[in-house]
Amino acid sequence: MIDFQSLAKAVLEGYQITEGESLAILDCRDEAILPLLHSAYVIRKHYYGNKVKLNMIINTKSGACSENCGYCAQSRDSTNPIEKYKMMDKDSIVKGAERASQLHAGTYCIVASGRGPTDRELNHVIGAVKEIKAKYDLKICACLGILKPGQAEQLKEAGVDRYNHNINTSKAHHATITTSHTYDDRVQTVNKVKEARISPCSGIIVGMKETKQDVIQMAFALQELKAASIPVNFLHAMEGTLLEGTDELTPLYCLKVLCLFRFTNPQAEIRVSGGREVNLRSLQPLSLYPANSIFIGDYLTTTGQVAKKDYQMLKDLGFEIDDVNSEVPV
C-alpha cells in the first residue's frame, strides 16, 4: 500500500512518479479513495488553490468528417442522426463568445469537425477570433484538427491563446480507435502549436476498451509533450458509433484516473470534460479535488449539465471561479 500523501509531497518537491506507482493509483482500493483524493488535492491546491477554470465550447462545424474515429458521432462511419452543418457564420461565432462571457467562462473553445481546416475555414476563424479579442476578455482555444505548415503561426498572430488536439488514447491502442490518421499525426500537431508559441492543450478519452497500462502511457505521453491543459473525457458511447454500447467505467475509477493525471502532470490544468455527467454521476463534486477545470454548457454532440447546477456545485465545495469576477453565481 503506497502512502499517497508522502507521494504527493515528493511530487511537489520535483519527483516524477513511476509506472508502478501510477498503477497503484489506478488499483487503489475503493475504500481508500478519500486518502487518494486528498493527496491529489494537496498538489492541485499548491498550484491552483480552490479556483476552478470554466471553459465553453462552440461547435462551429458539425458532422461530415472524413475521419473514422470510433468514439465520434461526427465520424464518416457514424450513423448517429446528429445535426450536420457547414462552418457557421462569423457573427454566430462571435455571439457564442458573448454567451461564454455571460457564463463566466475564462476560455472560449472554437471547435470544427474534419481532418483539418482549409485555408478558407482558417481565415474565417481568424476573422472571428480578432473580433472576439477586441470585444471580450476571453482566452481563445481553437480545435480545428491536424494543421498544415504555417497555419499555427497564423492562429497565433490572430490572437489564439491555446490549441487543442487530443492524443485520445495510447499509441499502442490508437489503431483500434481510428485508422484514418496516426497517433504521430496528432503528436506532430501538438508540437507545431508549441513551436508557434501557442499553449498546447491535449487530452484523452477513457473507457474505450483500453487497459490500465494504456491509461498510464497516456499520462506519461502528455507529461512528455508538456501539455499545459489536459481535458480528461470519459466515454459517452453514442448510438451508431463503433463503440456504441460500451460501458466500462465506474465513478470511482474515473476519480482514480483524474488523480493519476494530477500526480503525473502536477502543474497542468486538468479538466473534467465530456461524459462527466453520465460517468461520475453523483460523485461529480469529488472530481474537482484532483481537477481544476470543467466545461460549462453543452459539448460537441451531447448536452452538459445546466450551468446553474455547476455554479451550485462550486459554491457547495467552497471553490471560486478562476476569473476576473471570482464570485460564484447561483
Taking residues 168-172, report their average pLDDT: 97
Report the 10 Å Cβ neighbour count for 57. Answer: 25
**Mean pLDDT, the chain, integer:** 92
> Rounded to the nearest 5°, which phi and psi values hold at 321?
-75, 130
Taking residues 135-156, report their average pLDDT: 95
Candidates 221, 265, 215, 219; CA nearest to 235 is 215
Report the 10 Å Cβ neighbour count for 135. Answer: 12
Which residue type does 244 have?
E
**CA 266 to CA 261: how far, in whole Å?**
7
Q: Residue 326 above 50 pLDDT?
A: no
Choose the most confident range, by mean pLDDT, from 55-64, 103-112, 302-311: 103-112
Are 219 and 186 within 8 A, CB to CB? Answer: no
**CA 125 to CA 155: how far, in whole Å?**
9
Binding-site residues, in ranges, read 65, 69, 72, 109, 141, 201, 271
Task: Collect all residues with Cβ–Cβ distance below 8 Å to 46 and sequence separation of at least 6.
Answer: 12, 266
Binding-site residues for [4Fe-4S] cluster, in ranges, read 65, 69, 72
Binding-site residues for [2Fe-2S] cluster, in ranges, read 109, 141, 201, 271
* pLDDT confidence bin for 72, thresholds 50/70/90: confident
DSSP state of 15: P
Taking residues 185-197, report their average pLDDT: 96
Give per-residue pLDDT as tens, 306-319: 899 999 999 999 99
Task: Collect all residues with Cβ–Cβ distance below 8 Å to 275 and sequence separation of at least 6.
Answer: 205, 207, 233, 234, 235, 236, 302
* pLDDT confidence bin for 301, thresholds 50/70/90: low
Which residue intervals of 140-293 are DSSP H helices? 151-158, 183-195, 212-225, 251-264, 276-280
Taking residues 7-36, report their average pLDDT: 98
Percent of the chain with pLDDT over 70: 96
C-alpha distance from residue 42 to each of 12, 34, 58, 220, 278 (Å): 9, 12, 33, 20, 27
Q: What is the pTM of this model?
A: 0.94
C-alpha distance from residue 61 to each of 75, 169, 235, 298 (Å): 13, 24, 21, 15
